[in-house]
Structure 1
Amino acid sequence: MAYSRNNDATAADINRDRLFATGTFKNVWQGRYISGARTGQACVAKEFKSSSVFEDHYFQEELNIIDRAQYIIDNWHAANIVNRRILMSRPQIWQYRRNGRKALVEPFILNFQKFNSNTGWIPNSRDSWCEAMQALSHFSYHITGGQFLLCDLQGGTHGDVFILSDPVIMSASYSCGPGDLGPKGIHAFFRRHQCTRFCDTRWIKPRSSAKSEFSKRRGTTMVSRVPTRQTRLSLARRTR
């Protein structure tokens, strides 16, 4: 895939002595690849906070979201809207050799920042990348005929390239995981969306005058929340 960033590795050492970051739904641990083309480079392992982390459903759902986001990004580039590249960071499901626990592993992203949330939050300081990301969200709704909205856009800039990681997709059918707030979430997002110079006036928007049911917040709003549980462990790519 031309517009993606991949592991290109088969094993990694993950430092479990210190939590690197935590989000609404996942904990993040940092490590380094020890086998493959990226040997020596930094990576991250993302684990669900749910006690049901051994269930394939949660991981497969995450990969399905990434696949749909990739489709949107590929179409974004085909439309030639901006002259900069947006790459989708594509994690893989790996397993710890010691305990069999699963994690989503992907290359580490420098200069991490967030450009919008699934409730329509955007940062106060807005540069050209921020404007492009708001347009990407709007474009996603248009290109899918109003069925999906790519949002919660975050990642890191590397010159004229942006690496997108861990996005949310909201749908008309609540089919895209816990960050999918459905049609009401899509309406809430667009009530707060302000088109930028990269948006096209022909792009569709949802028609609704209803008051938003979701408060605007920087973090990811989930339709359900699940609890937490838990050395240096070795991760290997899961073969399927």
Structure 2
Amino acid sequence: MAYSRTNNSTRATIDTSQLFGSGTFKYVYAGKYTVGARKGQDCVAKEFKSGCVVEDHYFDEELNICAKAQQIIDEFNDAEIMNQPIYLNTPTIWTYEPGSSKSGQKTLIEPMILNFEKFNSNSGWSLTDSTGWAAAMQSLSHFSYDNSGGRLLLCDLQGGRYNDGYVLSDPVIMSKAHSCGPADLGMDGIMSFFQRHRCDAFCNRSWMKPPVLGKAKIPMHQGTTMEAADGSQIGQGFESAFGFVDLLNGMYRDEPSSDFATKLENSRG
């Protein structure tokens, strides 16, 4: 079973008059679905800050990381470590319709997440709370490393609580192969994560951990740390719009202005 929260819609209006949020890599706008099972529900549109019209590999990379994260989350749920499941918000690529100011431009659409919380980052920061969902998310990260035989670490876990479980968005995968995008800090990131990780009640003592010696190489930040082409770390801001609580409270409107709302059409069926 795939524990995935999907769009289940084919069209939405997006308020492009103002940003809902901005991360290191993306701009985010709020909107509403207008056609499909989620009609009337809130959604978000995420656009890459540079090259979003022509750089298709950004979108492909994002969806590939999402697919890997989905597999890890499904396996964690199947292991029945928690009595409620964890779901993953699954974005899809849509395009702005002709006639809009962004006509033909691609964007990632996914359902809005409410009650947003962040539990850990890709540099080893985590909530000090060691109980409930906070503890479960640290366990999920540790599980991902053990379950992959030390090849992958799912982290930067953030999302919202619902009656039937928890929904995550925009997780990061760090890999031994250093092949999962600009937030993949490789083994230095994995080692730094475990330098700061403390096992909790949901971690299994048999789960493997890398040998950690000396100081962590990656400075600890609550936000997502990205890696530049020269290997330096850049941008420690929230990558997800849902982390911008001030924007959520001060800028979001239930009914986006029709002057700025833009219809989108699913570009992948």
Deviates more, 1:203-212 or 1:176-185: 203-212
Query: What letter matches 1:68 in structure 2?
Result: K
Shift of 1:28: 1.1
The unaligned stretches of length 5 or more in structure 2 are 229-233, 236-259
Structure 2 CA distance for aligned equivalents of residues 137 and 239 of structure 1? 31
Paired residue for 1:14? Answer: 14
Shift of 1:54: 2.5
Following TM superposition, where does structure 1 have runs of at least 4 consecutive aligned residues deviating by more than 3 angstroms? 124-127
Structure 1 CA distance for aligned equivalents of residues 154 and 204 of structure 2? 16
Structure 2 CA distance for aligned equivalents of residues 43 and 162 of structure 1? 17
Query: What letter matches 1:69 in structure 2?
Result: A
Native 8 Å contact 1:9 1:35 kept in 2: yes
Instruction: Map residues 20-99 of structure 1 onto 2, 5 A cutoff.
Output: 20-97=20-97, 98=100, 99=103
Paired residue for 1:215? Answer: 219
Paired residue for 1:237? Answer: 266
Equivalent residue for 1:138, pick from 139, 142, 149? 142
User: In the superposition, relative to structure 1, how do residues 75 and 14 fare at CA in structure 2: closer, same or farther (>3 Å)?
Assistant: same
Paired residue for 2:210? Answer: 206
Shift of 1:129: 0.2
Paired residue secondary structure (2:226): coil
Query: In the alignment, does 2:151 pair up with 1:147?
Result: yes
Structure 2 CA distance for aligned equivalents of residues 52 and 3 of structure 1? 28
Native 8 Å contact 2:90 2:110 kept in 1: yes
The unaligned stretches of length 5 or more in structure 1 are none
Shift of 1:211: 2.2
Paired residue for 1:121? Answer: 125
Native 8 Å contact 1:10 1:36 kept in 2: yes
Query: In the alignment, does 2:212 pair up with 1:183?
Result: no
Native 8 Å contact 1:24 1:219 kept in 2: no
TM-score, length basis structure 1? 0.94
Structure 2 CA distance for aligned equivalents of residues 239 and 23 of structure 1? 25
Structure 2 CA distance for aligned equivalents of residues 10 and 219 of structure 1? 32
1:8-35, Cα deviation, whole Å (9 max, x unpaired) = 0001100011211112211111000111
Aligned-pair Cα RMSD in Å: 1.5
1:72-126, Cα deviation, whole Å (9 max, x unpaired) = 0111011111101100111000111132111110011110110000001112344
Native 8 Å contact 2:130 2:200 kept in 1: no
Query: What letter matches 2:79 in structure 1?
Result: A
TM-score, length basis structure 2? 0.84
Query: What letter matches 2:113 in structure 1?
Result: I
Paired residue for 2:4? Answer: 4
1:126-157, Cα deviation, whole Å (9 max, x unpaired) = 44000000000000000000000000000100
Native 8 Å contact 1:139 1:203 kept in 2: yes
Paired residue for 1:173? Answer: 177
User: In the superposition, relative to structure 1, how do residues 121 and 9 fare at CA in structure 2: closer, same or farther (>3 Å)?
Assistant: same
Structure 2 CA distance for aligned equivalents of residues 153 and 53 of structure 1? 28
